[in-house]
Amino acid sequence: MRKGAKRKTASQADEAVDNHKESKKSSTRAVKASKPESEPEYFEDKRNLEDLWMAAFPVGTEWDQLDILYQFKWDFSNLEKAFEEGGTLHGKKAYLFGCTEPQLVSVKGENKVICIPVVVAVVSPFPPSDKIGINSVQRESEEIIPMKQMKMDWVPYIPLEKRDSQVDRLKSQIFILSCTQRRAALKHLKIDRLKKFEYCLPYFYQPLKEDELEQSTEVQILYSSESKPVFCEFDWELDELEEFTDNMIKEEELTEDQKDDFKEFVREKVREAKKANRQAREARKKALEEMSEETKTAFESMKFYKFYPVSTPDTPDISNVKSPFINRYYGKAHEIL
C-alpha cells in the first residue's frame, strides 16, 4: 500500500508540475494578449484606371519637361468616368495618346507658363495610324515615318484589377501610345535623334477627306545664305515671284546679288510642293478604290475626344485655355471633356 501510495503521490506531483507549466503558458499568453496593439494604417484604394493618363506617353514633350509635368497632382477622373457604364467611351475600343500644351495660367495668384497634360482618345475599331510625323519650324522638311522607328507603338492598357491576368491583355478595349526609349540612355543619343522626339506629332490620315495640304498653294521657304537664313511663305497663286523677291530685298532680307538664286530656289520649292500635292491626291484616290466598305464605315464613324485635367484646389485654373485643336494631322476634336 505504501509503495502504491508513493506511486500515486509521484503521479500527483508530475500532474502538479504539468498543471503549473500549463498555468505558466496561459499566464504568458494572457500577458502577450494584453499587450496594447498599434493603430492600423489605412491606405486609400487605388482606382481601377487611376494611372491611365500617365500611361499614355506625352508625345512631343521635351525630355527635361517630363518631371515638371508631374509637379501638380493632375486629376483625370473625367477620363476614368468616360470608360464607366454610361460614360462616353464605355464599351468602345479606344486608342489614347498624350501631349502637352504650354499655356500662361494663374498659379497661386502668379501668372506662369506651365505644360498642361492632355489625353486624346480616338474611338476606332483599328489603330488610327502606325506612323508619326516629325516637323518643326527649324526643320526644312516634314517627315512621316513608322512610329516604331521612334520606339513607339500601340499597346494594350490593363486596368489595375486585371493586371494579374495575361488573358485580359488579349481582350483589352483600351490601347495607349507607348514609348520604350529609356531616359537613362538619352545621353548616348546624337542631338538630331534626341530632337526628333521633341518634334514628334501623332500622325493621322483621313482618306475620306481631302487633306488641307492637298489644297494648299503655300510653300515654306527656308533659304540659307552666308549672312543669315531667310524664313518666309510663298503662295504661288497669290504672290508674283518677281514682286515678292523685290520686296524681300527692300526689307533687307535679301541682297541684290541673291535675287536670281533666291527666285530659282522658290521655283524649285513650288515644283516640289505641286508634285507632293498631286501624289497625295493620287494616293488618296487609289486608297479609296481599294478600301472595303467596312473600313470606309470605320473611318466615317471615327471620333476624337480631348481630355483636359479636372479643376481642383491643388492645380492651376485651365478653364480659359481649353481648345478643340489636337494637331495639324488630327485637326479638331469632336468633343472636349
Confidence grade of residue 211 (pLDDT, cut at 50, 70, 90): low
CA–CA distances in Å: residue 334 to residues 11, 197, 318: 92, 27, 20
Give the C-alpha separation, 168 to 159, whole Å. 9
Cβ-based neighbour number of residue 332 at 10 Å: 12
Task: Report the sign of the C-alpha dihedral through residues 288, 291, 293, 298, in that order.
Answer: negative
Joined grid coordinates for residue 260:
536670281
Start-to-end CA span in the chain (Å): 99
Which DSSP helix (H) or strand (E) runs through 168? helix 167-171
Q: Which run of H or E residues covers position 306?
A: strand 303-307
DSSP 244: H
Q: Is the pTM of this model over 0.75?
A: no
Q: Give yes or no for a contact between 242 and 256, defined as CB atoms under 8 angstroms apart.
A: no
pLDDT tier, 9 (very low <50, low <70, confident <90, very high otherwise)? very low
C-alpha neighbours within 13 Å on the C-beta side of residue 143:
14
pLDDT per residue over 29-79, tens digit each? 444 444 555 555 545 567 778 788 888 888 887 777 777 788 888 899 999
**Model confidence pLDDT, tens digit, residues 261-292:** 999 999 998 988 888 788 778 877 887 888 88
Range(s) within the chain of domains with CATH label 3.10.20: 209-290
* Cβ contacts of 269 within 8 Å, gap of 6 or more: 219, 220, 221, 234
Which cell is 164 given? 494579374
pLDDT 10s digits, 147-192: 898 888 999 988 877 766 665 555 678 999 988 877 666 666 677 7
- Spell out the CATH class of 209-290: alpha beta
How many other CB atoms are there within 10 angstroms of residue 139's CB atom? 15
| Residue 48 burial (10 A CB sphere; 0-12, 13-18, 19+) | middle
Biggest alpha carbon–alpha carbon distance for the chain: 141
- C-alpha cell of residue 111: 501668372
Q: CA 128, CA 81: separation in Å to the nearest integer?
A: 23
